[in-house]
Amino acid sequence: MVLLLVLVFTLVLTASVATFLRRAMVDTVVIRHRDDAARAEALARGGVRLAIALLIQDRVEEQANDRRDDNLEDPWAAIRDLDLPAGPSARLRLTIEDSGARLNLNALVDPKRSDALTDEAEAFLVELFEKVNDEVDPASGGGPRDPRELARNLVDWLDEDSERIRGGDENEYYRRQNPPYVAANRPLLSVEELQLIEGFDGAFVRALAPYVTVYPVAEGGGINLNTAPSWVLAVVYHGAGFSKQLASEDTVRRILRERQEGRILCQSDAEDSRCVPQANLVEGDLFPESKTPYSTDVFSIRAEAQVGDIRRRIEAVVDRSQPAEPRLLSWRLR
């Protein structure tokens, strides 16, 4: 009996010690992950500050040299997708993108005009939405989409009146939703806001997101041909009068080739030896208008930090128009 009791107590003691050790190990892992998460977030925040410093440095150099021009030769573009030193078991990757690298939806129409949807704007939006609709995975859901209706619904959301382009109350659809709401009748504040507009389902907005931005919210311009990636260059709308079309693959390749060789697209009378007249590569006028040299004060920053197995990413939008006091327009921690 004594031996049996000893064996029972030994088993209970062994189980207790194992449980204690397992809990201690779990607590240790939790604490380490918590510390790594805090370090990763702090590192990402520092990355955003570093990006802002680079943007301010670029702006100060532009002022010193009496020029305004944003291209991929600028200091802020040199760190794109580079792994920066961040200490042992840590990694930091920064990406800075000027607002002109994507199509600004708020630059397409003038919300103060009752006839905001011009024939040119409608034609462009229809072609853009047709292209994006072809790229949506059918398995991702969403019903049939009419690009022309999407274009008109977008403008109804942006303009200041409460009437649909084709007539009727533009809020009829929105009041039937749960909960009900009304059209914003102002510029878009985020790309995600598109999902509130009639006809814009989540799958379509996700497919559209790589092409577009909403910054700057006011007084935005067209696409910056010197910084836009290839897929955005493919939606450059150019030509003469009402015969405009999306850029061809050949046009996109020629622009990228010039940029890879260290040249920039600019005005025909520019004195810069790197200059290639924009008219040599893109025929006709651009819609929305994109002036050269292209300059902006609004930039998107993505700082992704990893410490151990923990990752934190901060997406921010900054306005550097006043270098002494840069303004954060958006901040998102993922």
pLDDT score at 25: 67
pLDDT of 27 strictly over 80: no
Domains of the chain: 2-101+296-333 (3.30.1300.30)
Judge contact between 79 and 54, C-beta under 8 A. Answer: yes
The SS3 call for residue 67 is coil
Residues 259-268: tens digit of each pLDDT: 999 888 887 6
**Rg (the chain; Cα; Å):** 26
Question: 233-290 pLDDT, tens per residue?
Answer: 999 999 987 789 999 999 999 999 999 998 888 876 667 788 888 888 998 889 888 8
DSSP string, 29-41: HHHHHHHHHHHHH
pLDDT at 30 over 70: no
Q: Which residues contact 147 (CB under 8 A, 6 or more apart)?
A: 125, 126, 127, 128, 129, 130, 133
**Whole-angstrom distance, CA of residue 225 vs CA of residue 71:** 9
What is the token pair recorded at 200? Answer: 């814009």
Query: Would the CA dihedral through 250, 76, 102, 221 be positive or negative?
Result: negative
Q: pLDDT band for position 315 (50/70/90)?
A: very high
pTM for this structure?
Answer: 0.86
Lowest mean pLDDT, pick from 52-56, 86-90, 206-210: 86-90
- Give the other-Cβ count within 10 Å of 177's Cβ: 10
In this prediction, what percent of the chain has a pLDDT beyond 90? 51
Q: Which of 5-14, 54-63, 106-115 is predicted most confidently?
A: 54-63
- Please give the mean pLDDT across all residues of the chain: 87
Q: What is the pLDDT of residue 117?
A: 47
> Burial letters for 30-41: b for 16+ Cβ neighbours within 10 Å, e otherwise?
eeeeeebeebbb
At residue 268, what is the residue type? S
Q: How confident is the model at residue 118 (pLDDT cuts 50, 70, 90)?
A: low
Measured in residues, the chain has a length of: 334
